[in-house]
Structure 1
């Protein structure tokens, strides 16, 4: 995402200096949720699982989210990521 806490010069310089495979902010995809597997696929699964019941406290909600994350299958993640190319091609085809 393009959050200032991720794109500030100080953070970008730190990451560039400390991460071998760092991609600077200018190489990141647009903020379109249609192009991010986390946005178009994963968050909805986590939310639907974690919000099945009410939670008495933050710890309970956090545990439900972690459980949902841990239950995501490798096949589901691969399928979500595989759909990105089709989505990017659709954006390009529509001049968007």
Structure 2
């Protein structure tokens, strides 16, 4: 999710401090509007590169929108780039685990990891979470002064996704097997880098 106030992901962005005043000094306080204009971005990656992005600029994504607007992009790109020998992975976001989404994936993907076989909260096993989103956010952060409206936000997101370095995509995808092994050795606990 991106909004016109800037890039800040509260789940990942942390400031270590003794107290609130120290946090304010170290944390570069980011003012937020009460209801900022925002858009959602979906992006997929594989060992051959990144998919086209899907930018959803109104409302949120439910299973129907996910099936209609996102999954066909993933299917077309991966079939074109990888042929028929690939496995689709997603996380446990509500639109992903919905029974109709699961049925669509079973019917259209030659192989996919269903909701019962994927750890529900697995940022250590998702190249987007442990590498690509940071690269993407940094690319748009460098141009934040150009974002003044939802339209300019969308333009900058489209421009920024094209600047994601391919070596970052390849390296993050190639480390996946090793990360899977390391998570299995920690009995599913988070990795310490």
Q: Tell me if both proteins adopt one fold, taking TM over 0.5 as the criterion.
A: yes
1:25 paired with 2:111, answer no
Instruction: Point out the structure with the larger strand share.
Output: 2
- Number of residue pairs matched? 95
- Structure 2 distance, partners of 1:89, 1:22, is 20
Q: Deviations over 1:23-68 (max 9, x none)?
A: 2333445431111110111101111221232410122222222222
Structure 2 residue ranges without an equivalent (≥5)? 1-90, 189-193
1:34–1:40 CA contact under 8 A, matched in 2: yes
Structure 1 residue ranges without an equivalent (≥5)? none
1:45–1:68 CA contact under 8 A, matched in 2: no
Q: 2:135 aligns with which of 45, 50, 58?
A: 45
* Other-structure match for 2:153: 61
* Other-structure match for 1:89: 181
Q: CA 1:14–1:94 in structure 2 vs 1: closer, same or farther (change >3 Å)? A: closer
1:70 paired with 2:170, answer no
* Other-structure match for 1:5: 95
> Which region of structure 1 is more displaced relative to structure 2, 37-46 or 47-56?
47-56
2:131–2:168 CA contact under 8 A, matched in 1: no
Runs of 4+ in 1 over 6 A off after TM superposition: none
Task: Mark the structure with the bigger radius of gyration.
Answer: 2
- Structure 2 distance, partners of 1:69, 1:60, is 14
Instruction: Point out the structure with the larger helix share.
Output: 1
Q: CA-atom RMSD, angstroms?
A: 2.0
1:50–1:68 CA contact under 8 A, matched in 2: yes
1:22 Cα offset (Å): 4.7
